[in-house]
Chains A and B, each alone.
Chain A
Amino acid sequence: EVQLVESGGGLVQPGGSLRLSCAASGFTFSSYEMNWVRQAPGKGLEWVLYISGSGSTMYYADSVKGRFTISRDNAKNSLYLQMNSLRAEDTAVYYCARVCSGDCFDAFDIWGQGTMVTVSS
């Protein structure tokens, strides 16, 4: 079964750090571009980070640039999100999402269940 499972969320103080993980299974992880998408409580979806299949190319939303880092370990079939200098407005459910391939372009066809990050003192 194709699956993404996030972990690592929790409560962190403003200015703190947290590292999220996303474990992939059921597909050739290295062949797919991956993203992190977040959703603040009661709000809409917001794309935040992208990484290519090889890990050589990354893109960041302006809201997290300089604070968040996306990375991947294809040998471990895992995606990571390192979050530093966290702010209250970073409070959200964080989803990892796979970019489709084949005759499909730039759509997220597989999503994890999400992990909640709460930034509060």
Chain B
Amino acid sequence: QSALTQPRSVSGSPGQSVTISCTGTSSDVGGYNYVSWYQQHPGKAPKLMIFDVNKRPSGVPDRFSGSKSGNTASLTISGLQAEDEADYYCCSYAGSYTHYVFGTGTKVTVL
């Protein structure tokens, strides 16, 4: 099972919006509405930011939103803030055999 494809990096100025894509196949992203997104700061454990494509856990700012079209999921961060600078990973359920597959990861830089 290959990793989901994400851009290596995206950047934006404070207050701007950035969107991270996550491209898979019909066996993972396109086949299930079980895409999640994680934020990871250096040296820290990942933190769940989005689940089930577009739902936010309590405590996650509504600046973070998720969507999906076909085999590609997206995470949008609106009103970019300095503390949003981190690595972001998508993850999809991929069926009972493979089970889960992560994306390659995207570094978000706040200029």
Contacts and interface: CB of A to CB of B under 8 A. Distances in A.
Interface of A: 35, 37, 44-47, 50, 59, 61-62, 95, 97, 100, 103-109, 111-114
A46 B48 contact: no
A37 B102 CA distance: 10
Interface string B61-100: 0000000000000000000000000000101010011111
A45 B38 contact: yes
A95 B96 contact: no
B47 A111 contact: yes
Contact of B34 (A45, A95, A103, A106): A106
Given A44-B89, A62-B1, A104-B55, A109 B100 contact: no
B99 A104 contact: no
A7 B89 CA distance: 24
B100 A113 contact: no
B48 A107 contact: yes
Nearest to A63: B1
Given A45-B102, A47-B102, A50-B100, 12 more contacts: A37-B102, A44-B3, A45-B91, A46-B3, A47-B99, A47-B101, A50-B99, A59-B99, A61-B1, A97-B46, A104-B51, A105-B34
Interface string B29-49: 000101010101000011110
Interface of B: 1, 3, 32, 34, 36, 38, 40, 45-48, 51-52, 55, 57, 89, 91, 93, 96-105
Contact of A107 (B45, B91, B97): B91
A106 to B, nearest CB: 4
Given A95-B45, A111-B47, A45 B57 contact: no
A113 B101 CA distance: 21
